[in-house]
């Protein structure tokens, strides 16, 4: 980023202190050293899961329009300092535009940084909902505005004047969450040069009078009996550039957009027009932008540059999170069975924006429109990323680790028996390994995996990091894919929808979301549920024309408070069941409760019956929650498949998956994990940090493995790693004989479980040049 603050100490200031500093600054602008630009922050551009953000950058501060999911992770990737963000403006208040706000506010709050959040008056509903899990201090500087006639002034300082024009459908069509905003950003004019010769000729020599003239104040000549006016000695001023951020989501908003008189001041050639618009960023969807009425409205701004950012398909093949994409490509080369490439066959690129649209161009990630200095005003594509070429990544990997090709070949041999038939996992003695270790001693297969098919179950890790997203690991989320029978999510951290689209492809991910039957949330820390509203809202939109059942959300009771409050903004099309009512004891009491024809709503009869129906349709016997040792209302979960009959009529017991959520090792977890096929256990800390694990109520890798071994679990998958381990955690190979390490986008099919620990030593080869980050004050575990 350009224009970094020279003093890092000035970053940690409250919003009030920032405002005071702004008021104290001179309004004088020096055009020679002032930098200002508009930049597209393309979070969501490759996945279409959220609205792109727009950055308005100044030397002294940054302003962001919209904070969809993934914004914080994107800023981390691009080294955009959160400490410089003074304002966040929302064009609408919904999960698409504000899904990244909770995580961003929590991160800033932990760093004692506060940002002012402004949006239409619907913002109050979001703030009320966020109070369920965000400290009041982090929400103190949030404020809604409108609706009102005309524009609302929001900022007017030495850098910029920002006003808002609120669009709201008529009362018969509108509802909470339907207000939309057009933001008008006007930079001050740059005053002309002071003409020394003219001043001297008029009798104004060096001194305070010249300063007054520069400020626009007339003075009396030093040696002549005349008044000297600024226009007598100042060259012509350059008008300040004007930018519009337009979000017109529906046809009903378009009618108001067309009839709003406030725009008359900016239309080219209008009798009321006194200002020329330099650039307009359109966040409006294609369904609105394609309207001839919208085209005509755009044309009224004359030569303004139009940037079309409403989910343009042009950018769909260029990953926004390049570090993560590069990382996944390397993993996929080593072990495509556990790290399949994204299913991109449904992804297509489209042409640039409609050529009939004025001066329009499709938005691209990190594309800029320079506003200052005036000499460079216009489009700047120098930061736009290029296409990521997998072959180049692999060539780089070969150069870095010459023996990686042999390692990849050995990994592939794990999926081929000596006869060479594909799809079968060979026993250890059939394969020649180039590594040694305790990983190859266990050839026993649990009876539930006998004749298991590849479409019985797959576990996809969408987020394997803790606390906040990083370049390589998103926050917690696991997709339980039961193929034709649908799927479930275990936890749903911010960015879950985007991760689904990266894994399955933009269009196929929508099928996955349609097929979700249940979402289970472990506890109320934001890194485990902040992506829930976006998933639910997207599912509702996908199924709005199709008869369907509401999705069942199972979570701690406090989560219901948040979801109920949030649904004042947008319908989430869900029913809720408290984890407390899905424990073994509660479910047993429900089964044994005599029926007397009366239904007590407090007993969650409808929800529990829905759960049973969902489980039956998915081929599951049980979903059982159990309390763990982390925070108030923290849970783990057991998923048990129903018994199946093989081709010769033999009864095969169902598999059993246990997910720990966040926890210290505890008796309840060990008991729940008895004879589990897979135990997915958090491993936030490395083995040498037991004290940290105890302090934060988390587990170390060794502790997690011990829990699994005590319970007799067949395979243990470690996840939820501290972000101080950016790629791979530190572990002791002596206890890893039945263990796997989870990574984002890792897909573990039940049929591949025997190979899981056998891949681990090859992963060590891939990461042997990596050094774990040293402990830092910037890392906070929840």
SS3 letters across 303-326: CCEEEECCCCHHHCCCCCCHHHHH
Residue 3, pLDDT score:
34
How confident is the model over 467-523, as pLDDT tens digits?
A: 999 999 999 999 999 999 999 999 999 999 999 999 999 999 999 999 999 999 999
Instruction: Decide if pLDDT at 285 tops 80.
Output: yes
**Span 358-401, pLDDT tens digits:** 678 999 999 999 999 988 999 999 999 988 899 999 999 999 99
Residue 132 has pLDDT above 80, yes or no: yes
Where residue 9 falls among pLDDT bands split at 50, 70, 90? very low
Q: Give the residue from 38, 256, 257 showing the smallest Cα distance to 160.
A: 38
Alpha helices (H) in 229-349, listed in sequence order: 230-233, 251-259, 286-289, 292-299, 322-334
pLDDT band at 176 (very low <50, low <70, confident <90, very high): confident
Pairing of strands 487-492, 516-520: parallel
Q: ∠ CA(89), CA(93), CA(94), 5° rounding?
A: 130
The mean pLDDT value for 229-253 works out to 93
Report pLDDT for 435: 44
Q: Give the separation between CA 26 and CA 7, rounded to whole angstroms.
A: 19
Computed over its alpha carbons, how large is the radius of gyration of the chain? 30
Encode pLDDT of 72-87 as tens digits. Answer: 999 999 999 988 999 9
Q: Which of 17-31, 693-707, 758-772 has the weakest average pLDDT?
A: 17-31
Q: What pLDDT was estimated at residue 442?
A: 57
**Among 403-417, 448-462, 609-623, where is mean pLDDT lowest?**
403-417
Beta-strand runs (E) in 90-160: 116-120, 142-145, 151-156
Between helix 756-766 and helix 322-334 the angle, nearest 10°, is 120
CA atoms of 247 and 92, how far apart (whole Å): 8
CA distance 716 to 454: 20
Give me the mean pLDDT over the 35-62 stretch: 92
Is the pLDDT score of 105 beyond 70? yes
Contact 69, 494 (CB under 8 A): yes
B/e letters for 434-445, b = 16+ CB within 10 Å, e = fewer, are eeebebbeeeee
Q: Contact, 407 vs 767, CB < 8 A?
A: no
Residues 6+ apart with CB under 8 A from 414: 337, 425, 426, 431, 755, 758, 759
User: Is the preceding omega at residue 147 within 30 degrees of 0, hence cis?
Assistant: yes
Q: HSE (CB half, 13 Å, CA atoms) of 484?
A: 4
Residues, the chain: 782
Whether 519 and 484 have beta carbons less than 8 Å apart is answered as: no
Chain centre distance of CA 575: 24
Report d(CA 250, CA 764) in Å as an integer. 51
* Cβ neighbours of residue 685 closer than 8 Å, sequence gap 6 or more: 692, 693, 696, 698, 699, 700, 701, 722, 781
pLDDT for the residue 345: 37
pLDDT of residue 399: 95
* Residue 18: per-residue pLDDT: 54
């Amino acid at each position: 980023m350009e224009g970094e603050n020279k003093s890092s100490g000035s970053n940690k200031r409250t919003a009030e202190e920032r405002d005071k500093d702004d008021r104290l600054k001179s309004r004088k602008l020096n055009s020679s050293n002032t930098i200002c630009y508009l930049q597209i922050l393309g979070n969501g551009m490759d996945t279409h899961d959220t609205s792109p953000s727009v950055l308005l950058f100044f030397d002294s501060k940054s302003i962001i329009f919209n904070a969809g999911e993934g914004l914080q992770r994107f800023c981390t990737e691009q080294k955009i300092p959160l400490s410089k963000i003074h304002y966040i403006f929302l064009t609408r208040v919904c999960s698409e535009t504000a899904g990244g706000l909770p995580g961003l506010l929590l991160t800033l709050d932990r760093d004692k940084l506060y940002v002012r959040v402004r949006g239409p008056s619907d913002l109050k509903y979001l703030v009320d909902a966020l109070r369920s899990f965000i400290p009041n201090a982090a929400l103190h500087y949030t404020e809604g505005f409108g609706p009102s006639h005309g524009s609302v002034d929001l900022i007017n300082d030495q850098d910029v004047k920002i006003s808002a024009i609120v669009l709201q459908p008529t009362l018969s069509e509108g509802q909470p969450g339907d207000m939309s905003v057009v933001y008008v950003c006007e930079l001050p004019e740059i005053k002309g040069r002071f003409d020394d010769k003219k001043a001297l000729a008029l009798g104004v020599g060096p001194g305070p009078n010249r300063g007054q003239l520069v400020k626009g104040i007339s003075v009396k000549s030093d040696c002549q009996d005349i008044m000297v006016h600024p226009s007598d000695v100042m060259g012509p001023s350059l008008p300040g550039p004007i930018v519009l951020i337009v979000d017109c989501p529906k046809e009903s908003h378009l009618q108001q957009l067309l009839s709003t008189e406030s725009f008359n001041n900016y239309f080219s050639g209008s009798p009321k027009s006194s200002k020329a618009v330099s650039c307009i960023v359109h966040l409006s969807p294609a369904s609105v932008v394609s309207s001839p009425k919208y085209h005509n409205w755009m044309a009224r701004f004359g030569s303004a540059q139009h940037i079309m950012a409403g989910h343009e398909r042009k950018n769909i093949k260029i990953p926004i999170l390049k570090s993560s994409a590069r990382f996944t490509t390397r993993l996929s080369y080593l072990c495509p069975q556990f790290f399949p490439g994204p299913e991109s066959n449904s992804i297509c690129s489209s042409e640039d924006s409609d050529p009939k649209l004025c001066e329009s161009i499709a938005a691209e990630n990190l594309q800029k429109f320079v506003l200052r200095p005036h000499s460079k005003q216009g489009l700047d594509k120098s930061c736009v990323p290029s296409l990521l070429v997998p072959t180049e990544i692999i060539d780089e990997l070969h150069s870095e680790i010459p023996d990686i090709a042999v390692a990849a070949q050995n990994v592939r041999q794990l999926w081929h028996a000596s006869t060479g038939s594909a799809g079968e996992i060979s026993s250890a003695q059939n394969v020649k390994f180039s590594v040694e270790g305790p990983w190859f001693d266990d050839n026993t297969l649990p009876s539930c995996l006998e004749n298991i098919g590849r479409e019985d179950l797959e576990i996809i890790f969408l987020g394997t990091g803790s606390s906040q997203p990083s370049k390589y690991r998103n926050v917690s989320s696991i997709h339980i894919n039961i193929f034709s029978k649908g799927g479930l999510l275990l936890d749903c951290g911010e960015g879950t929808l985007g991760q689904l689209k990266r894994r399955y492809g933009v269009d196929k991910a929508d099928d996955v979301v349609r097929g979700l039957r249940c979402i289970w949330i472990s506890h109320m820390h934001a890194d485990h549920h902040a992506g829930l509203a976006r998933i639910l809202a997207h599912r509702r939109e996908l199924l709005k024309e199709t008869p369907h059942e509401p999705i069942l959300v199972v979570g701690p009771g406090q989560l219901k408070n948040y979801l109920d409050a949030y649904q004042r903004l947008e319908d989430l099309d869900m029913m809720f069941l408290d984890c407390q009512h899905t424990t073994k004891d509660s479910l047993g009491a429900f089964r044994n409760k005599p029926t007397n024809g009366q239904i007590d709503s407090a007993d969650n009869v409808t929800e529990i019956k829905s759960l049973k129906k969902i489980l039956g349709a998915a081929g599951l016997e049980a979903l059982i929650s159990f309390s763990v040792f982390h925070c108030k209302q923290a849970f783990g979960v057991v998923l048990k498949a129903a018994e199946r009959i093989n081709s010769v009529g033999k009864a095969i017991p169902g598999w059993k998956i246990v997910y720990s959520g966040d926890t210290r090792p505890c008796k309840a977890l060990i008991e729940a994990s008895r004879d589990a096929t897979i135990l997915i256990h958090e491993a936030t800390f490395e083995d040498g940090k037991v004290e940290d694990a105890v302090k934060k109520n988390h587990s170390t890798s060794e502790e997690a493995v011990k829990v699994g071994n005590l319970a007799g679990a067949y395979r243990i998958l470690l996840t939820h790693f501290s972000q101080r381990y950016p790629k791979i955690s530190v572990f002791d190979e002596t206890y890893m004989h039945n263990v796997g390490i989870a990574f984002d986008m890792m897909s573990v099919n039940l049929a591949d479980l025997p190979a899981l620990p056998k891949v681990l030593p090859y992963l060590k080869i891939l990461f042997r040049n990596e050094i774990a980050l040293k402990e830092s004050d910037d890392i906070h575990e929840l």
